[in-house]
């Protein structure tokens, strides 16, 4: 065999050269997840004296006021970028009146967190009514059982003002009502909070992957489902339209939810959005990985970091994940 024959038999281009060793792979990595990219969703329940474990989300709890403050401090010390607060009241009614009560569970918790960690982490409040209504839907109902969109907007504007007054640095409407961002922006401005940003759940799908969340937030619909206002999982152009509408109405950030089964949507939104794009690693994704890891079917920590990397690779600049504190520690 001649020298030329030998050269022709082997590749000239060798991408594997850049995969030789951990340090070299880290040096040329295209996508990085940082602790400050992560947002921790948290549940606080009125009337608890001890945290209550969420059976379908191992490792997660419904917090008391005290345990919420402790967990928030741990997240801030780990370098997590934000917290997203969900509240569970003791009493519910048809219009979710506890949602904007100054002494309601979320407003009390927001004041706690603003004073405890408000200088170190972005305290956000989910803005919806499903946890507060006795029927479990995201707004007041019409006589035929459908959510009354425009009456719901009035409730959302009031809730936004109450959350901002209590110390929320960001409000995050998740109800998928038409016009919700414009109504909330107007409500915040009227109440003297023009500097509070809106993170809009702009593309939120009617997904089966929310199942464990409904145990955690105690907000499952008493009848029907939410497909009349949340998006059809088959659609993507609709998401781009929803995002464009929310941005036009004043959204400062937008979100895609869920994430892992909708990474194509995350990527398309990230390509076109003029504002930061978040994605939510929802409860069903969390539960599946925890269950598979418990059975020894996959490496838990690698699965956590790989999925978070996939979100960033798709274009999400912030990721809501129940592993935020743990992942931040792993990333450091």
Residues tagged active-site: 204, 257
Residues near 212 by beta carbon (within 8 Å), at least 6 away in sequence: 54, 56, 57, 283, 284, 286, 287
Helices marked H in 1-104? 3-8, 22-27, 65-78
Check the CA dihedral 171-172-174-175 and report its sign: positive
- CA 120 to chain centroid: 19
Candidates 62, 176, 73; CA nearest to 116 is: 73
Q: How far apart are CA 113 and CA 69, in angstroms?
A: 6
Q: Specify whether the CB–CB gap between 277 and 254 falls below 8 A.
A: yes
Query: What secondary structure does DSSP assign to 79-99, as a single string?
Result: T--EEEEEEE-S--BTT-GGG
């Amino acid at each position: 065999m001649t020298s030329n024959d030998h050269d022709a038999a082997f590749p000239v281009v060798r991408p594997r050269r850049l995969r030789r060793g951990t340090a070299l792979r880290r040096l040329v990595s295209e996508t990085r997840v940082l602790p400050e990219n992560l947002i921790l969703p948290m549940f606080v329940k009125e009337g608890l004296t001890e945290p209550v474990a969420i059976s379908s989300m191992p490792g997660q709890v419904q917090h008391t006021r005290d345990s919420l403050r402790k967990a928030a401090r741990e997240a801030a010390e780990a370098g997590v970028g934000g917290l997203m607060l969900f509240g569970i009241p003791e009493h519910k009614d048809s219009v979710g009146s506890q949602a904007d009560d100054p002494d309601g569970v979320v407003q009390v918790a927001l004041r706690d967190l603003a004073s405890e960690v408000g200088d170190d982490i972005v305290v956000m409040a989910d803005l919806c009514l499903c946890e507060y209504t006795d029927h479990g839907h995201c707004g007041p109902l019409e006589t035929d059982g459908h959510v009354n969109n425009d009456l719901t907007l009035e409730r959302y504007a009031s809730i936004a003002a109450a959350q901002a007054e209590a110390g929320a640095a960001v409000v995050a409407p998740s109800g998928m009502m038409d016009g919700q961002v414009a109504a909330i922006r107007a409500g915040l401005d009227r109440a003297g909070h023009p500097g509070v940003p809106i993170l809009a759940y702009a593309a939120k799908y009617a997904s089966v992957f929310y199942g464990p969340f409904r145990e955690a937030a105690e907000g499952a619909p008493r009848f029907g489902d939410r497909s009349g206002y949340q998006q059809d999982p088959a659609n993507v152009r609709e998401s781009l339209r929803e995002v464009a509408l929310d941005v036009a109405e004043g959204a400062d950030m937008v979100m895609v939810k869920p994430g892992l089964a909708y990474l194509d949507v995350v990527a398309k939104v990230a390509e076109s959005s003029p504002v930061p794009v978040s994605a939510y690693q929802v409860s069903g994704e969390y539960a599946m990985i925890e269950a598979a890891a418990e059975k020894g079917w996959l490496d838990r920590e690698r699965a956590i970091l790989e999925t978070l990397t996939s979100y960033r690779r798709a274009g999400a600049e912030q990721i809501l994940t129940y592993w935020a504190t743990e992942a931040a520690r792993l990333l450091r």
